[in-house]
């Protein structure tokens, strides 16, 4: 084993990060999922650590990173950074890391990090940004979708870069310490509450559904919307529609495209019948 570990240059680390962030799902397949994308992220690291004539060393290093892998891309950058640090030690002679520690660390971290990353991005980040930008878009302001896209991409890049550096500089102990500290569970719980609150506000403000059914009774006109639904709970029908859509997509596996077709067709039929 070498007494001095060769460090990967900053340029190669920078390229590795962008390879992962942009191409994590390249050649995505059911056999290895993000395995090829992970290998592509590690290519700059391998190029920096192994000479071009070291064919055997480069071959083994590339084979190590073609295995099954799947996690949330932005926070998952921590695993890529950590693997880069381990590759430095393997190139210096700590061969045992390649067979024992590295696979265990990768497979042990990808699940928890995926759970945390998906919760933060899908339940907190995206709904909050949407709540800020949908109003602009509905007023016909093109800045709405552009602002959402710019803020969303910028936050994802910052999150991914910080995670990548955390994995490379702090190692698996820091990541596992963070996952096991209890802070992550509190963060996920808080994120879920905040996400539900924001989504509730979005449904109340931007989902429009009301019935036009009016009945002529002996006591006078009866407006089903005003006299029943609004009297019980304003925005009850939009809430019911949102929950029904969620149930179909989450429990019944209805795709987003098919769900849009159902909503369009249902709206046309119910509108023609004079129900909504």
CA pair distance 276, 273, nearest whole angstrom: 8
Question: To 5 degrees, how large is the angle CA 54–CA 57–CA 60?
Answer: 145
Question: Cβ distance 175 to 107 under 8 Å?
Answer: no
Residues 6+ apart with CB under 8 A from 212: 225, 274, 275, 276
Locate 234 and state its tokens. 């304003």
Residues 6+ apart with CB under 8 A from 119: 188, 191, 192, 195
DSSP 4: S
Question: Cβ distance 12 to 42 under 8 Å?
Answer: no
Of 29-33, 182-186, 189-193, 250-254, the poorest mean pLDDT is in 182-186
Residues 6+ apart with CB under 8 A from 45: 8, 12, 13, 16, 83, 84, 87
Locate 274 and state its tokens. 């004079």
Matching residue, tokens 């310490």: 177
pLDDT in tens, 8-27: 899 999 999 999 999 998 88
140 burial via Cβ count (<10 Å: 0-12, 13-18, 19+): exposed
- Closest listed residue to residue 45, CA positions, set 79, 1, 2: 79
Rg from Cα positions in the chain: 26
Locate 65 and state its tokens. 């990173």
Tell me the mean pLDDT in the region 134-140: 79
Confidence band for 184, pLDDT divided at 50, 70 and 90: low
Locate 38 and state its tokens. 């992970």
Distances (CA, A) of 90 to 55, 97, 206: 16, 6, 54
Mean pLDDT of the chain: 82
What confidence score (pLDDT) does residue 234 get? 81
- Closest listed residue to residue 22, CA positions, set 60, 102, 77, 90: 77
Taking phi over 0 as left and psi of -120 to 50 as alpha, with beta for the rest, 143 belongs to alpha
CA pair distance 172, 167, nearest whole angstrom: 7
Q: Can you give the pTM of this predicted structure?
A: 0.70
Q: What residues are paired with 220 via a beta bridge? A: 217
What confidence score (pLDDT) does residue 39 get? 93
pLDDT in tens, 155-173: 999 999 999 998 888 765 6
- Closest listed residue to residue 64, CA positions, set 27, 28, 38: 38
């Amino acid at each position: 084993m070498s007494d001095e570990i060769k460090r990967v240059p900053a340029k190669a680390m920078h390229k590795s990060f962008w390879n992962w962030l942009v191409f994590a799902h390249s050649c995505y397949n059911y056999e290895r999922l993000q395995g090829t994308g992970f290998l592509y992220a590690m290519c700059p690291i391998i190029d920096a650590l192994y000479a071009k004539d070291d064919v055997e060393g480069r071959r083994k290093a590339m084979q190590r990173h073609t295995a099954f892998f799947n996690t949330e891309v932005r926070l998952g950058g921590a695993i890529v950074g950590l693997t880069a640090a381990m590759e430095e030690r393997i190139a210096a002679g700590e061969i045992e890391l390649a067979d024992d520690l590295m696979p265990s660390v990768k497979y042990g971290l990808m699940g928890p990090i995926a759970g945390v990353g998906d919760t933060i991005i899908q339940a907190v980040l995206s709904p909050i940004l949407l709540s800020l930008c949908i109003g602009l878009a509905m007023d016909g302001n093109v800045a709405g979708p552009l602002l959402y896209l710019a803020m969303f991409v910028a936050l994802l890049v910052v999150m991914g870069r910080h995670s990548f550096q955390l994995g490379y500089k702090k190692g698996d102990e820091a990541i596992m310490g963070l996952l096991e500290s209890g802070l992550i569970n509190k963060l996920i719980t808080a994120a879920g509450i905040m996400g539900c609150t924001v989504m509730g506000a979005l449904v109340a403000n931007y989902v429009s559904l009301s019935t036009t059914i009016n009945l002529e009774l002996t006591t006078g006109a009866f407006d089903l919307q005003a006299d029943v639904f609004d009297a019980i709970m304003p925005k009850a029908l939009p809430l019911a529609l949102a929950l029904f859509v969620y149930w179909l997509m989450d429990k019944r596996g209805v795709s987003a495209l098919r769900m849009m077709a159902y909503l369009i067709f249902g709206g046309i039929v119910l509108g023609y019948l004079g129900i909504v």
